[in-house]
Chain A
């Protein structure tokens, strides 16, 4: 079974530029999460999708971050404009929906450096 795919693996941009990350979840996983992990901290939930609908985006800085999940499969997370404090690893995870007794599978993440 293929895992969660993310790209790019690394990205370096200047502040005020824009950037986009892509995630392809495991086939059949209706729930998709985006997390921001700052060095030395736990993953912070940014947004949760179920199919193509948003379940929770309470921690997403909506003035600069946006995310979509067209057709309920792939997802993109965008930052525009980026700030220095956005430097972090952005993790995508997917999970089967409807059963609490399921694990979340994580991608390798995208390491963003804003200079």
Chain B
């Protein structure tokens, strides 16, 4: 029931774009995206609830496909501060929030 994230790791130069994918074998109620820096707690980025939804702020956005089984996180013109591990969290009901294995993003100057 754990969502599957890909890729496991990404290395970029500052200013490049990245896409992180999160998929489930069954339809979901929602998808959450969090970022965790080393030694810190995960920090919330956004929630998607509706099939076909897209949302974002600044240069980080996300989409949820029509079947509500896949979500993608888009980071454009990446900044050094975007470095960290990104987790998707998925829900199928009752607010049971389970996380993927994470995608480690490294931004080099």
Is the pairing of A and B real? yes
Complex CA gap A36/B5 in Å reads 18
A33, CB-defined interface residue at 8 Å: yes
A104 near B89 (CB under 8 angstroms)?
Answer: yes
- Name 24 interchain pairs, CB-CB below 8 A, sorted by A: A33-B97, A41-B101, A42-B5, A42-B87, A42-B99, A42-B100, A42-B101, A43-B87, A44-B99, A45-B97, A55-B95, A56-B94, A56-B96, A93-B97, A100-B29, A100-B47, A100-B49, A100-B91, A100-B95, A101-B30, A103-B32, A104-B97, A105-B44, A108-B41
B98, CB-defined interface residue at 8 Å: yes
Bits for B79-109, please: 1 = Cβ < 8 Å to A, else 0: 0000000010101001111111110000000
Chain B positions near chain A (C-beta within 8 angstroms): 2, 5, 29-30, 32, 40-44, 47, 49, 87, 89, 91, 94-102
- Residue pairs across A and B with CB atoms within 8 Å: the count is 60
B42 near A43 (CB under 8 angstroms)?
Answer: yes
Number of contacting residues on A, CB 8 A?
26
